[in-house]
Structure 1
Amino acid sequence: MRVLLVEDDGTTAARLAAALRAHGHEVVRDDPQVILVGPGSLPACGTLRSGTTRPLIALVGSEHDRVTALERGADDYVFTPFDAARITERMRAVVRPPVRPEPEIPLDIGRLDLSTAERTLLAQLLDRPGQVLTRAQLTRLPDLADALDAHVTTLRRKLPGTLTLEQVRGIGYRLTVGR
C-alpha cells in the first residue's frame, strides 16, 4: 500500500518507515492510498484533512491525543506502542470497500422542502445508508461547516416516517430505513 508518513520527529519517522517497508508498504511523498500521522505531527491532522479525502490514520499515545486526532479529521487511530502489523490492519480496514449491501432507499429529494445545507446533508447520508458519518466528515462539507446540529434537527422534522436520522453518540450520524 502507498503510505504518506507525516511525522516531525526524525527518529520516529525513520523507525515507522522501516517497519512499514518491512511489511511490504511503499512510503511515498505523493499520491498515497492512506496518510499516516505520527504522534509528533498530530496538530497537522486538521490541515491534512482539509486538503484531501484520503483516509487518515493517527498514531496516538493517549486518550487525549485520540480525541484530538478524531476531532481534527482522522478516520482511525492506533495507540502506542506502534506495531507495524496493527498499523497495516487499520490501513487495510480504512481503504476496504464496504462488504454489506446497501439498502435501497426510495426517496425523491426534490419533493422535500430542504435548504441547501439540509439537501447536502441528506445527499451524503443517502450515499452511505446505514453507515455512520463522523461529525468531522460532515463539517468538512462547505454547507455544513457551521451549525451541523441545527441542520440535523430541521432535517429530522422533514424526513418521511420511513427514514430515521440517528445520532451515534460521540461519533456522528447515520440514516436508517424503518420497517
Structure 2
Amino acid sequence: MTQPLVTILDDEPEIRRILTDALEDAGFRTQSFSRAREFEAALNRVTPDVCLVDLSLPDTDGLALVHRLALEQGAAVIIISGRAQVQDRVTGLELGADDYITKPFDPAEVVARIRARLRTPRTQTSHSDTAEFNGWTAHFDRYVLESESGDETPFSHAEGEVLRLFLESPKRLISRGQMQESLGGAAGDSFDRAMDVRISRLRTKLGEDPKNPRLIKTIYGAGYIFLGDVGWK
C-alpha cells in the first residue's frame, strides 16, 4: 500500500528538514519546496494527500495560495505559520484550510494533526464519490455541486468534509464534539468558527435561506441535522 504523500512549502531550510525527517520517520512520503512556483508546478504532476503551507512566502501571498489549494486540489491543507494571532488563524480556516499550526511547533504534533486529517469520513467510508440529494448532486471526486439544471459550483476540500459528514448521517443530530472527532483539528473557538463559516458557505451554495434553511438545520446548543434524502451512486 502506497504511503500518503505530504508536500511541504516553506522558505526556511531548517523547517523543511525538521518536517521531512519527522514525517518520513512516521512513514509518510514527502516532497519539499522553498518557492510557491515550484510547489504549484509539482501539483500539475501529482496530487498530495496533505499540503503543509507557510503563509510568509517570498514569491506569493500564502493566504491566497491556501484558498486556491482548498478550491482546486483534492488534498487537505494545513497552515504552518509564525503568525500566532487569532485573526490570522481564523482567516486561514475561513479561506479553506483544514488546520492551522503555529511556529514553533512540536514535530510530533504535526504528525498527529496530519494523521487526524487523513482519518476523515472520506477515507473511512465505503460510499462512492457521488451523492444525490434534493435536486443536487455532490461530486466529491471533482469537488463540485451540480444543480438540477446542470450548473456547477465548486466547493473546497474542507467544505466537502463537512458536506460528506452530513450526507453520510442524514436526519441524525451531529454535535460539535462529533464533528471535531470526525474531522480532526484542534478543538476550541477557532474550530467552532471554522465550522460556522463552512456550514454558512455550504448553505449559500445550496441556495438556502440563511434565516430558515431547509437542509442544514441548526439545533441550538446541540449541533446540526441534515434533513435531505440522500442516495449514493
Over aligned residues, Cα RMSD in angstroms? 4.3
Aligned partner of 1:175 in structure 2 is: 225
Q: How does 1:23-34 map to 2 (within 5 A)?
A: 23-28=26-31, 29=42, 30-34=46-50
- Matched to 2:25, the amino acid is A
Aligned partner of 1:166 in structure 2 is: 218
- Matched to 1:37, the amino acid is V
Q: Answer yes or no: is the 8 Å Cα contact 1:23–1:85 preserved in 2.
A: no
Instruction: Return the TM-score normalized by structure 1.
Output: 0.61
1:94-150 CA distance string (max 9 Å, x none): 1113479xxxxxxx725xxx997xxx89xx4752443589435874xxxx6xx9299
* Equivalent position to 1:9, from 8, 12, 27: 12
Q: How does 1:73-88 map to 2 (within 5 A)?
A: 73-88=96-111
1:19 Cα shift? 2.9
1:92 Cα shift? 0.9
- Matched to 2:209, the amino acid is T
1:93 Cα shift? 0.8
Aligned partner of 1:93 in structure 2 is: 116
Unaligned runs of 5+ in 2: 32-41, 126-132, 136-146, 156-162, 184-193, 228-233
Aligned partner of 1:52 in structure 2 is: 73
- Matched to 1:152, the amino acid is E
Judged with a 3 Å threshold, the aligned counterparts in structure 2 of structure 1 residues 69 and 22 are, in CA distance, closer, same or farther, namely same
Bigger fraction of residues in helix: 1
1:64 Cα shift? 3.1
Q: How does 1:150-165 map to 2 (within 5 A)?
A: 151-153=207-209, 156=212, 159=214, 165=217
Alignment: residue pair count: 152
Q: Answer yes or no: is the 8 Å Cα contact 1:2–1:34 preserved in 2.
A: yes
Instruction: Return the TM-score normalized by structure 2.
Output: 0.49
Percent sequence identity over aligned pairs: 25
Q: Answer yes or no: is the 8 Å Cα contact 1:72–1:136 preserved in 2.
A: no
Judged with a 3 Å threshold, the aligned counterparts in structure 2 of structure 1 residues 23 and 73 are, in CA distance, closer, same or farther, namely same
Aligned partner of 1:127 in structure 2 is: 167
